[in-house]
Amino acid sequence: MKTYSVKAREIERDWYVVDAADQVLGRLATRIASVLRGKHKPIYSTHLDTGDYVVVVNAERVRLTGKKADQKEYFRHSGYMGGERFIPFRRMLDRHPDRVIKLAVKGMLPKNTLGRQMLGKLRVYAGPEHPHAPQHPRPFDTIAE
């Protein structure tokens, strides 16, 4: 008897929608990263992208615990000397609520080509509307934790 190895063409992808309203950012990001990697499926394999698509709505209403909403900063660097920029969490949430969730999930995925491919299956929207109704996304709660 041989061990079954899934082929890339045999992978079926589902669509899930998650409401980020009043959800803790880190806990939400870990569940999203797990689904993007495909760890909830019995055919999970480390060398293949077996994950599903995830649509996040209400990203502007995500929350942090403790004082992190006031203390957390995002770091960027232009590449020039003295070109570092620190963006407070509140300003990032006001201007780019989608980036807050994308950056949190990105940090939990592999840092290679496969991780970038997985991140491409994440769609984040600030409000409650999304254009992915034709894909019939299922509620995120249907995934076992």
For the entire predicted model, the pTM comes to 0.92
- Structural contact between residues 63 and 24, judged by C-beta atoms closer than 8 angstroms: yes
Main-chain dihedrals φ then ψ at residue 122, nearest 5 degrees: -100, 130
Kindly tell me if the per-residue pLDDT of 142 is higher than 60. Answer: no
Per-residue pLDDT tens over the stretch 118-132: 999 999 999 999 999
Separation CA 5–CA 80 (nearest Å) = 47
Domains of the chain, earliest start first: 13-63+96-140 (3.90.1180.10)
Separation CA 77–CA 54 (nearest Å) = 29
Per-residue pLDDT tens over the stretch 96-115: 999 999 999 999 999 999 99
Cα 121 to chain centroid distance, Å, stands at 8
E-strand ranges in 8-145 read 15-19, 53-57, 73-77, 84-88, 122-124, 138-139
In this structure, how many other beta carbons lie within 10 angstroms of the beta carbon of residue 35?
A: 23
